[in-house]
Amino acid sequence: MAEKVELVEEVKTLSDKVVELGRDSLYMGLGVVSVVQENVQGLVKRGKDYRHTLIERGEKMAKDNKGRVNELVEMPQTMAKDTVKKASDTFEKYSEQVLTRVHVPTSDQIEAMTKKVHSVERKLDKVIKENAAAQ
């Protein structure tokens, strides 16, 4: 019987140790959650402060270097505009030469011919009316 009592006591101490280990694990988990929560709150606060600092620095830098920023932006824009104008002028020149070589009239020549045709048409209508009135 003494063996049963010792066995029961060993089981109780073992179960007490398991319960104590479970309780300690629970408290350790809660402690970890608390530490993580504090760290996350600290990180969020530092992030907001850091964001604010970066914005202030960026605004100051933009204000201090406004002329340099404009210069850096305008120079490539000017170069691009000049390049486009040169390319456009060159294209017009060579396309006009090609059209002239293959005897295709330009829009100015077509307009001039259209005006002449209208002039001849009006004169012809006038002559037709005069002949009709003479008969």
DSSP category for residue 105: P
Spatial distance between the Cα atoms of 75 and 81, rounded to a whole number of angstroms = 10
- Residue 96's contacts (CB-CB under 8 Å, 6 or more residues apart) are 106
| Digit-coded pLDDT (tens) for 1-49 | 556 556 556 666 767 777 888 888 888 888 888 888 888 888 778 877 8
- Residue 106's contacts (CB-CB under 8 Å, 6 or more residues apart) are 96, 99, 100
**Cβ atoms within 10 A of the Cβ of 126, count?**
10
119 has pLDDT over 90: yes
Of 72, 95, 91, the closest CA to residue 83 belongs to 91
Under 8 Å between Cβ of 106 and 99: yes
Instruction: Kindly report the pTM of this predicted structure.
Output: 0.33
104 has pLDDT over 70: yes
